Amino acid sequence: MRMARLGASLAVALLSLCAVFEAAAGEASERGGKAAKPGTSEGGAVLSDPENVKGVSDFEAKLAEGRQAFAKKELARARAAFDEAIVMKPEEARGYHLLAQTQLEKGERDAALATVDKGLAKTAADDVAAKLLALRAELLEHQASVQGASATGGSATETADIAEARKGAWEKASIAYGAYQVFLAAHARVPDHQATAAERKKQIAARKQRETQYAVVKSKRENS
* This prediction's pTM: 0.67
Of the three residues 100, 124, 148, the one that is the final residue of a domain is 124
Domain that holds residue 75: 55-124
- Decide which of 4 and 128 is more confident: 128
pLDDT at 39: 43
- How many separate domains does the chain show? 2
Are 137 and 120 members of one domain?
no
Are 147 and 207 members of one domain?
yes
Q: For 165-186, how does the pLDDT look when each residue is reduced to its tens digit (9 = 90+)?
A: 888 899 999 999 999 999 998 9
Confidence tier at 198 by pLDDT (50, 70, 90): confident
Q: SS3 letters for 195-216?
A: HHHHHHHHHHHHHHHHHHHHHH
In this prediction, residues 139-149 reach a mean pLDDT of 84
